[in-house]
Amino acid sequence: MRSLYRQYTLATLFIIGISILAGFLIVSIIYNIQIKEKNDEKNVGVAIEITSVLEKMHGGGFNNYLESITKLGYQAYVINENEEEYSYGEPFQDTELPEEIRLEVLNGNIYHGMRDYQGKFFIFNHYANSVRNTVGIPFEHEGIVYGLFIRPNNQLLFSDMHLLLLGFLLALAVIILTSMLLLAKQLVKPIKQLNDATKHVMVENYRVELDITRNDELGQLARNFSNMVKQLELNDEARKAFISNVSHDFQSPLLNIQGYADLLKSTDLSKEERENYIQVIDQEAKRLSNLTKQLLLLTSLDQSARPVRKSDFRLDEQLKKVIYKYRWRIEEQNMDLSYEMEPVMYYGDIDLLENVWDNVLTNAIKYNVAEGEISIKVIDGSDYVRISFQDSGIGMKEEEIDQIFERFYRIDSSRTKEGSGLGLAIVKEIVELHKGKIEVTSNINEGTLFVILLPKQIAF
């Protein structure tokens, strides 16, 4: 696997190379379309002026004049009808001139070599040091027909400023490349830290420290990663606590069932003892069944395995049925139950919401006092349906209110009360699934008030 730093470096070099090629191609296109012909025309004009002077010149000034022209930054090549050749200034590297070009110029035509020459690649045609990369003008001197081939001297085109500019561009390229590589290293460093940290988290080592204090996206990623690790640690602790609690809650009734089953094997038990033992086994089996059902429901809610099946139903009528179901327990403890319920048609999951009322009402009964009171109210608001359960029970401390929705949490740590500690966790999951909220207020020995707010939902 290639490192990110290496990939970034190669990508940077590739982009620079592509950029240079693209820039070169664009410049070449512009040169060929606009500059090349204009450059040819300009040099043709210069050559015509030179030949006009040469045609008026007599005597030996011919060579001197061409030498002086080349000192001004030109290369010159002269032929005549007698097949004589003369070179002035910096010699051409390629002096091969096709016969058809010679005849073209000596016959009085202008040769546009700087416009038509294709010996090099794109813009490099401009710098080709060849006689064919010139402009050719015919002229007559002392009765002899000549051809003047001329072009600017490439070596003189590069002044000190050109060299300084070239050096500046090279230095700039080196600085940019070095800076990009350093930047890549700085970008990769926190990613390597994050990669190492993930390896620790993968083996459940959550004690990882990231030395990343950036204020950019990588810094935000590092902070989010640290928060995620803390949450994973909490989740891991909760998972272990969950397993411990489940084991405890399953072990206790299983031991009771096993113990009383062993006692039933005895032949000297009275009928009353046998019935009591069977009753205990039956109660513990029901307790296990209820715990299993609640665990399955909670798991399905967590994993969205159970689809929400919403329909319109009378919420007040559902609550009355739940109250009637637990009427015997209320009467058994001689409690006073009252309710005020406005008729409410609600769109929700009727089965899940029945679990909510079951759990909240059984809690109000379980943690109430003998001959206590329970008050249930349903108010149909404009946006929310408000359902409240008020009891006169043992109440809770303020710090306990924040924990009652945790799984397996019980106010009575000794676990003497019946139940699994999952009921209110299920209540919270179902209420939130309906986009609602639940509020709890309580005082020690004064009772507890549960208020559930369910938003009105429209059936589609």
Kindly report which listed range (93-97, 264-268, 312-316, 380-384) carries the lowest average pLDDT score: 264-268
Q: pTM higher than 0.95, yes or no?
A: no
Query: Are the C-beta atoms of 448 and 393 separated by less than 8 Å?
Result: yes
Share of the chain above pLDDT 90, in %: 22
Asked if residues 172 and 95 have their Cβ atoms less than 8 Å apart, the reply is no
Q: Once rounded to an integer, what is the mean pLDDT over residues 398-424? A: 67
What is the token pair recorded at 51? 């030949």
pLDDT of residue 411: 62
Report the DSSP pairing between strands 447-455 and 310-314: unpaired
Rounded CA separation 460/452 (Å): 24
Rounded-to-integer distance, Cα 404 and Cα 4, Å: 48
Per-residue model confidence as pLDDT tens digits over 49-99: 998 888 888 766 788 888 888 888 899 999 998 888 989 988 888 888 889
pLDDT tier, 121 (very low <50, low <70, confident <90, very high otherwise): low
Query: For the chain, how many residues are written?
Result: 460
Using pLDDT thresholds of 50, 70 and 90, give the confidence band for residue 129: confident
Mean pLDDT, residues 429-434 taken together: 89
- At 36, the pLDDT band (50, 70, 90 cuts) reads confident
Q: What angle do CA 388, 390, 396 make, to 5 degrees?
A: 115
Local confidence band at 387 (pLDDT 50, 70, 90 cut-offs)? very high
Top pLDDT among 364 and 155 is at 364
For residue 363, give the amino acid letter.
N
Residues of the chain with CATH 1.10.287.130: 192-306
Q: Where in the chain is the domain with CATH 3.30.565.10?
A: 308-455
The CATH superfamily of 308-455 is Histidine kinase-like ATPase, C-terminal domain (3.30.565.10)
Q: Which of 88-92, 236-240, 300-304, 411-415 has the highest mean pLDDT?
A: 88-92
Among residues 290, 446, 450, which one has the least CA distance to residue 368? Answer: 446
Tens digit of pLDDT for each residue in 316-372?
999 999 999 888 888 888 899 999 999 999 999 998 899 899 889 988 998 898 889
Q: Which residues neighbour 250 within 8 Å (Cβ) at sequence distance 6 or greater?
A: 288, 291
d(CA 253, CA 41): 106
Both structure tokens of 314: 């009378």
Q: Is residue 136 a contact partner of residue 147, using CB atoms and an 8 Å limit?
A: yes
Query: Which pLDDT band, with edges at 50, 70 and 90, does 201 fall under?
Result: confident
Residue 415 pLDDT > 50, yes or no? Answer: no
Just give the CATH number of 4-157.
3.30.450
- What sign has the CA pseudo-torsion 209, 212, 215, 219? negative
Q: How does the average pLDDT of the chain come out, rounded? A: 82
Local confidence band at 303 (pLDDT 50, 70, 90 cut-offs): low
As given in the structure block, the two tokens for residue 202 are 């993968």
Residue 158 pLDDT: 58
- Four-CA torsion 227, 232, 238, 242, nearest 10 degrees: 160
For residue 378, what pLDDT is reported? 95
Q: Which residue has the higher pLDDT, 403 or 249?
A: 403
**Please, where in the chain does CATH 3.30.450 lie?**
4-157
First vs last Cα of the chain: how many Å apart?
A: 52
Question: What's the whole-number mean pLDDT along residues 117-142?
Answer: 81
Q: What percent of the chain has pLDDT over 70?
A: 88
- Which fold would CATH assign to domain 192-306? Helix Hairpins (1.10.287)
Q: What is the pLDDT of residues 1-13, one digit of tens each?
A: 556 667 777 777 7
Q: Are 451 and 386 in contact (CB under 8 A)?
A: yes
Q: CA distances (Å), 365 to each of 329, 344, 412, 427, in order?
A: 8, 25, 15, 16
Taking a C-beta distance cutoff of 8 angstroms, is the pair 47, 137 a contact? yes
Angle between helices 217-264 and 160-202 (to 10 degrees): 10
Count of alpha carbons within 13 angstroms of residue 229, beta-carbon side: 21
pLDDT of 253 strictly over 90: no
